[in-house]
Structures are given as C-alpha cells and as structure tokens.
C-alpha cells in the first residue's frame, strides 16, 4: 500500500504508512476504535524511559474512550535506542507491561526522517519545529490533524496532557 492510497482511506496523519514492531506495514488509522492518537518517540536508555509507565496508565485509562498511544522507538538522540525491534518489544513488555502499539524504529530528524515525523514537525504542522529529544508527544485527532504537541518534560500524568486528551476525545467524529 502506498502512502497516497493509505491517505485516501484514513485522513491526514492517520493515513501515513508505518511499520509496526513486527515489520507489518500499516497506518495509525488502522487501529480499531481509535478516536485520538498520542504519538511518542521513545528510547529504552533515556532518562525519560520511565514515562512508559505513565503512557501505559494513560492508555489503560483512556483506551475504552478511543485513545491510542503509539510508540515510535528512535535512536536519533544520544544513541539511546540501539536495540533491535525484537529487543525493544521484549524490553517494553518485560519492564513496563506495555500493551499499546509499538512501531518499528524510525529516524525522526534529518534527511532520513520518517514521513510521519516530517509531517508532524514540518512547516505545515499545527506545531512545527524539530523534535529536541526522546519522549516528545504529538496528539492527533480523529480528523488526522495534529492537535497539540508536548515536550519530553511533560509527564504522561500531567493535567495539561490529560485535559488535551479529554478534549480530543470529546471532539471525535
């Protein structure tokens, strides 16, 4: 499936082709029941890695309302995600009991940046600019548009993030 075809099926950012952690080509919009997506660039050897616990708690709390947490491992910052997809999957399950979708490792900056992150950070994005570190969070609505962006220091259990998620879920199609 090409990105163009995928975008015809799912709107905007939700139609960009991605690979899941098991190397299957899919889109964010293919996740059943999704009404809002929290895309996070993650790494297993980062000071923010503990945020996996909070991301899982967010997912547990809001999944039934339509939230999808989507983790994208990235080795762009300090080489903090050197592991293979198989090792990443095991790490997330063993250490944090992650049940939300994890996608294949991607580049999010530079010439090799994945198209999803090019769109999330590009000049036409609602909140443009490069990602500065691991565990940045991008909230995408049911219309496939970027609603909000949060830096690494915004914890998953922050009032700011939870309110944005609640509002996104209320605004769903």
Q: What are phi and psi of 121, to 5 degrees?
A: -115, -5
| CA angle (171 as vertex; 42, 6 as ends), nearest 5 | 60
| CA angle (39 as vertex; 34, 44 as ends), nearest 5 | 125
Which candidate in 39, 43, 46, 55 is catalytic? 46
40-to-140, 149, 156 alpha-carbon distances in Å: 11, 10, 10
Annotated active-site residue 46? The verdict is yes
Report the catalytic residues.
46
């Amino acid at each position: 499936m090409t990105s163009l075809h995928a975008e015809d099926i799912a709107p905007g950012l939700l139609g960009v082709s991605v690979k899941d952690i098991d190397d299957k080509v899919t889109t964010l919009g293919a996740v059943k029941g999704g009404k809002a997506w929290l895309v996070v660039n993650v790494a297993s050897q980062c000071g923010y890695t503990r945020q996996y616990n909070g991301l899982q708690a967010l997912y547990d709390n809001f999944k039934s309302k339509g939230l999808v947490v989507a983790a994208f491992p990235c080795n762009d910052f300090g080489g903090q995600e050197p592991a293979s997809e198989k090792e990443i999957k095991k790490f997330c399950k063993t250490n944090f009991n992650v049940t939300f979708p994890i996608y294949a490792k991607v580049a999010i900056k530079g010439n090799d940046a994945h198209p999803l992150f090019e769109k999330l950070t590009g000049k036409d994005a609602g909140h443009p600019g490069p990602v500065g570190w691991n565990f940045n969070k991008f909230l995408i609505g049911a219309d496939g548009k970027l609603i909000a962006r949060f830096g690494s220091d915004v914890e998953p259990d922050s009032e700011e993030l939870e309110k944005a998620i609640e509002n996104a879920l209320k605004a769903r199609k």
